[in-house]
Amino acid sequence: MGVPIPLADVPDARRAHVLHPELVPLDLVSAAWTDVQPQQPACARACAGLAHAVYHAEDAARSWAAGWGWKLRRRIVVGGGRCDLVTRDDLLALVFCGTRPDEVQNLRHDADAILTAHPAGGRVHRGFWAAHQQLEGAVDAAIAELAPRRIIGIGHSLGAALALLAAHRWPVEAVLAYGCPRLGDRCFAAIEPCPLYRFQNGADVVGHLPPQGLGYRHGGTLMYLSPAGLLLANPPSARLRRARFAGSLRYAVQLPALRAGACWFRDLADHGIHNYRSKLDRLSD
């Protein structure tokens, strides 16, 4: 498993933990639930826990979810894609797994950044759209069988993009996306079938990819976890740049290259879902 490497205000900068969230224990933080209130830390923490659990083996994810009042009803695995269907009362959470480096199809989907037409309008990342289509049939059948009254979408990294695409396919009432890449062009970003909350931690580089120069834009509400430990809704771009620069500088002066196994740059370290969870756990309700 390895020992966490704290650097500056990054809880754990170990490279293996960022690339392989399944190596980080699930009992990292509490997961109290206050219904679907994405701007409340308790809700954001619980959903981040589910976004972490989907990386783990099915038995481990089921056990963790049960400990916090959730029930893992299905795990759908098609090719390199993975989705957990988790229920609580009348609510179904569609929890999509992010990129797993050992899954070649995940890497291919991430790299295929050509924009392609989406049925709802605008254009989307072709690889993410292909990953969604890979899972769509099986998820559709499972939803029809479970017949939930309410649905939310949750995901981290690639899973965050899939959660947003799910909102264009099923009646999702909210999406909580952690470390979400840009998904489509300006036209697609303007189409919001439900409230979208994009949680972005510190200097997380994935939130800035693919580049705007390729035609990509973000939609929804940015929930920024600043290096100072604050949760800011749609902060001004100048404040965002200052916070990222200051946080990256604090990290760099710790000389991460001298720490065996550490991420050399904060941009990657901040992307780990376990670091999202640690930061959210420090927020007061």
Domain positions in the chain are: 29-236
Regarding predicted confidence, which is higher, 3 or 141?
A: 141
Residue 230 has pLDDT above 90, yes or no: no
Q: CATH number for 29-236: choose from 3.40.50.1820, 3.30.43.10, 3.10.450.50, 3.40.50.300.
A: 3.40.50.1820
Q: 100 phi and psi, to 5 degrees?
A: -115, 115
Alpha-carbon gap, residue 140 to 186, rounded angstroms: 28
Regarding predicted confidence, which is higher, 161 or 282?
A: 161
On the 0-12 / 13-18 / 19+ scale of CB atoms within 10 A, 68 is middle
Q: Where are the alpha helices (DSSP H) in the chain?
A: 15-19, 41-53, 58-67, 104-111, 126-146, 158-167, 186-189, 237-252, 266-269, 273-281
Percent of the chain with pLDDT over 90: 74
Average of per-residue pLDDT values in the chain? 92
Q: Given the structure tokens 């949680």, which residue do they identify?
A: 199
Among 33-37, 134-138, 185-189, the least confident range? 33-37
pTM of the model: 0.95
Torsion over CA of 281, 267, 218 and 94, rounded to 10 degrees?
Answer: -50
What's the pLDDT score for residue 243?
86
Reduced to 3 states, what is the DSSP secondary structure of residue 178? strand
Residue among 175, 160, 168, 275 nearest 207 (CA): 160
What's the pLDDT score for residue 1?
59
- Report pLDDT digits (tens) over 156-213: 999 999 999 999 999 999 999 999 999 999 999 999 999 999 999 989 999 999 999 9
Among 169-178, 226-235, 259-268, the least confident range? 226-235
What's the pLDDT score for residue 28?
64
Percent of the chain with pLDDT over 70: 98
Regarding predicted confidence, which is higher, 94 or 38?
A: 94
Residue 284 has pLDDT above 80, yes or no: no
- Report pLDDT digits (tens) over 100-130: 988 888 889 989 999 999 999 999 999 999 9
